[in-house]
Chains A and B, each alone.
Chain A
Amino acid sequence: RKEVEQDPGPFNVPEGATVAFNCTYSNSASQSFFWYRQDCRKEPKLLMSVYSSGNEDGRFTAQLNRASQYISLLIRDSKLSDSATYLCVVNSNSGYALNFGKGTSLLVTP
């Protein structure tokens, strides 16, 4: 079983829609959680860290449920420029190596 599982999608949504991505992780000792964004044929870039209390950055809201080992990302008022692959990331036992999910593909259409 992979350490980080995500629904690969694709998610096709119209501009202005709200879309939610989920992921689960298997290592209950994990301490750090992130969402990365990866555009086609580009490198991953940190979108936001995920904190136990939940956190928001503009149109993006991330939630963490440690009991269920579940992480979510909500995007409100989707823009065409949000089209990308969203990678759920959890740190490994080492604390420095990152474990990535396969990514969820989002396409926002006009």
Chain B
Amino acid sequence: GAGVSQTPSNKVTEKGKYVELRCDPISGHTALYWYRQSLGQGPEFLIYFQGTGAADDSGLPNDRFFAVRPEGSVSTLKIQRTERGDSAVYLCASSTGPAYEQFFGPGTRLTVL
């Protein structure tokens, strides 16, 4: 079956711009996670959705970052006023529920110039 998909695969933007990153989880997976992976580092947790609600957004670095999952399936990570330090690979994962195996998408590579 289809895995987790993310679009775009690459995004280049200028400092100060707004970007949206999309994640399409595996069908039927109720849990969805966003992670961020900077160069040479492991992924870092950003936010967890169970269904439509953000159950835990404690990993979001500041209020420029926001994510939604209005219908409990597709999720969008939104970054306002991008900064060069936001450059990273943004990974989305989904699972059948919390504490079950997380399947990762291929990521969106964000470059802020």
In the complex, whether B25 has a CB less than 8 A from a CB of chain A is: no
Specify the main secondary structure of chain B where it touches its partner. loop
Contact status of A45 and B104, CB under 8 A, knowing A95-B99, A98-B45, A99-B45: yes
Contact status of A95 and B102, CB under 8 A, knowing A4-B42, A100-B42: no
Bound CA–CA A98/B99 (angstroms): 9
In the complex, whether A94 has a CB less than 8 A from a CB of chain B is: yes
Given the complex, which residues of A lie within 8 Å of B105, measured CB to CB?
Answer: 43
Given the complex, which residues of B lie within 8 Å of A4, measured CB to CB?
Answer: 42
The answer to whether A96 touches B101, judged by C-beta atoms less than 8 angstroms apart, is: no
Contact status of A103 and B101, CB under 8 A, knowing A96-B31, A97-B59: no
Interface size on A, as a range, is: 20 to 34
Bound CA–CA A98/B105 (angstroms): 15
The answer to whether A91 touches B42, judged by C-beta atoms less than 8 angstroms apart, is: no
Chain B interface (Cβ within 8 Å of chain A)? Answer: 31, 33, 35, 40-45, 48, 56, 59, 91, 98-99, 101-102, 104-107
